[in-house]
Amino acid sequence: MTPDGRSVDPSDPARGVRPVVLVIDDDAGLRESFHLILDDDFEVIPIPGHTPGSTAYLWDTGSRRVLFTGDTILLRDGEWRTAVLDSSDRDAYRDSLLLIGELDFDVLVPWIASGPYHALTDRADTRRRIDALVERL
Predicted model pTM? 0.76
Coil, strand, or helix at residue 75?
Answer: strand
Question: Among candidates 18, 39, 41, 21, which has minimal Cα distance to 30?
Answer: 21
Q: What is the helix (H) or strand (E) element at residue 100, kind and residue range?
A: helix 90-102
**CA–CA distance from 3 to each of 6, 27, 40 (Å)?**
8, 38, 10
- Give 19-59 pLDDT, tens digit per residue: 665 555 556 555 566 677 878 889 889 898 888 889 999 99
Superfamily designation of domain 17-136: Ribonuclease Z/Hydroxyacylglutathione hydrolase-like (3.60.15.10)
Among 5-14, 29-38, 107-116, 124-133, the minimum mean pLDDT is found in 5-14
Where in the chain are the domains? 17-136
